[in-house]
Amino acid sequence: MRITQSLFGRSSLLLMALGFTALLATGAGMVWLVEATRSFAAGVIATQDVRVTASQVFSLIQDAETGQRGYLLTGEDRYLEPYRRAMEALPHELPALAARIAADGGNVDAVRQLQATLAMKLDELDRTISLAAAGDQAGALALMRTDRGVAEMDTIRSIVNGIETRSIARGEKRSKGLVRTGRLLLAGAGAAFLLILGVTIGAVLHARRYARALEAAQAEVTAANASLEARVAERTAALAAANDEVQRFAYIVSHDLRAPLVNVMGFTTELEAAVAPIGALLAAAEREAPGIVTSDARAAVLEDIPEAVGFIRSSTQRMDRLINAILRLSREGRRLLHPERVDLQALIAGLVATQQHQLDEAGVSLTLAPGLPSITSDRLAVEQIFGNLIDNAVKYLDPARPGRIVIRGRTSRTHVVVEVEDNGRGIDPRDHDRIFELFRRSGRQDKPGEGIGLAHVRALARRLGGDVECRSAPGLGSTFRVTLALTAPANTQPPSSAEDSPA
């Protein structure tokens, strides 16, 4: 089966998922083992605490019994010192032993049994010492020979041994559990290692197979491009010739249109000049022979002809502006680009400074965000692009609210994107593409213009390796996003000196 890019992507994701699952399982196992080890270590410490405290309790009882016997045999008070220390420490050690047994998970009933037996043993020791202190040495020895103390001591030893034995058993159980956990984790880690190894080998083989498929495909593409490049070159040359022909046609048409337009404008001036004598003649005729001057003649001379001349003059003036616009676009389309290093931040700041007076008069706040990069492009074209957009933003602000314009940008790997945002009157979404067409405008036509500004902006942006688009809605303002190449494409089309002569 042929490996497609989609199949390779899905299979690679599957292999990565398997490897990640294995790593995740191993990590979870390690966490589990660490937690089990921590629990075992805590259990070992608790077991040791129980054994140490139990041994300490039993040692204190032995010290108390040793002090009793030394005092009974010698009668000297200094032999009671071990007894007194034991009597002071035991009330603290017994609760501590109960707490540590509970922390170790054991049963504290043995401590209560030990406490009861210990109370009887201490009572026996206290009675013998009291009899000896009272001078009844024989009574004290007789009480000691009853073996009551020996039996109680054996019971205490048995209880303490039982506490230690049970604590050791709990420790051994924990140790076995830890060993079992370690073995399970080792087996799981081995399985995860084998799975990761298998995934790695599979990924390498899969990638190698895909690389071979890519090499074969690249060879096919190279072979296809060998003939395609020639066709592209031919079509590019044909397109360049067609574009040059369009530019030449626009230039010639605008020149050919200007000649009859100049004639019309001249004859209009003559016609306008002729109206005055005719008006004077009409006035004289009305004075001398009022009957021969009809109302139609009077209206034609005084109203219709001046009105018609005015319409002709305004139309010819508009035609003259349109022809000049066509000439400017034609010249700009044939102008040779001169790429140079352009600091966008400084360039736009300069454009803002030139329009600052206009901004202040309109009460507009303009914010230029920092961080715009330097690009290699045609400085004049870039100035015309952003000069037009800033001028439009100021021109079409909504008088019902304070004007606000924000210019910001960001940079990608090959392009810079600059946005000019305003809170003006906005543009109907249906006209977002129309406004970039030549001589097309949107909304109320209450501002001067021929409808070539945005068409010029888009033409320049595309020549500089980018584009311009609009996001807007009526009443919500507009955002014009300009995309420019960080390095403008080279322009090798030379201007035609014959066609660059003034009209």
Q: What is the pLDDT of residue 479?
A: 92
Q: What is the pLDDT of residue 501?
A: 41
Q: Are residues 359 and 325 in the same domain?
A: no
pLDDT in tens, 352-396: 998 888 888 888 889 999 989 899 999 999 999 999 899 888 888
CA distance 291 to 268: 31
CA distance 101 to 240: 96
pLDDT at 492 over 50: no
The mean pLDDT of 278-290, rounded to a whole number, is 75
Q: Are residues 191 and 252 in the same domain?
A: no
Looking at per-residue pLDDT, the higher value among 94 and 297 belongs to 94
Neighbour count for residue 105 (Cβ, 10 Å): 14
CATH number of the domain where residue 343 is located: 3.30.565.10
Measured over the CA atoms of residue 341, residue 343, residue 348 and residue 351, the dihedral's sign is negative
Are 72 and 130 contacting, i.e. CB atoms less than 8 angstroms apart?
Answer: no
Q: Are residues 82 and 95 in the same domain?
A: yes
CA dihedral 376, 377, 383, 385 (to 10 degrees): -120
pLDDT at 491 over 70: no
Q: Are residues 37 and 132 in the same domain?
A: yes
What is the tally of structural domains in the chain? 3
Residue 338: pLDDT band with limits 50, 70, 90:
confident
**Among candidates 484, 347, 485, which has minimal Cα distance to 419?**
484
Q: Are residues 258 and 131 in the same domain?
A: no
Q: Has residue 220 been placed in a domain? A: no
Q: Has residue 226 been placed in a domain? A: no
Q: Are residues 42 and 157 in the same domain?
A: yes
Least confident interval from 57-71, 444-458, 480-494: 444-458
The mean pLDDT of 322-346, rounded to a whole number, is 74
Residue 104: pLDDT band with limits 50, 70, 90:
confident
Q: What is the pLDDT of residue 496?
A: 46
The mean pLDDT of 325-336, rounded to a whole number, is 63
The SS3 assignment for 481 reads strand
Least confident interval from 102-111, 228-237, 269-278: 228-237
Give the domain range for residue 282.
231-332
pLDDT in tens, 139-169: 877 777 777 778 888 888 888 888 878 878 8
Q: What is the pLDDT of residue 230?
A: 66
467-472 β-sheet, strand order: 364-368, 403-411, 415-422, 478-485, 467-472
Residue 232: pLDDT band with limits 50, 70, 90:
very low
> What is the rounded average pLDDT for all residues in the chain?
77
Residue where one domain finishes, among candidates 210, 241, 264: 210
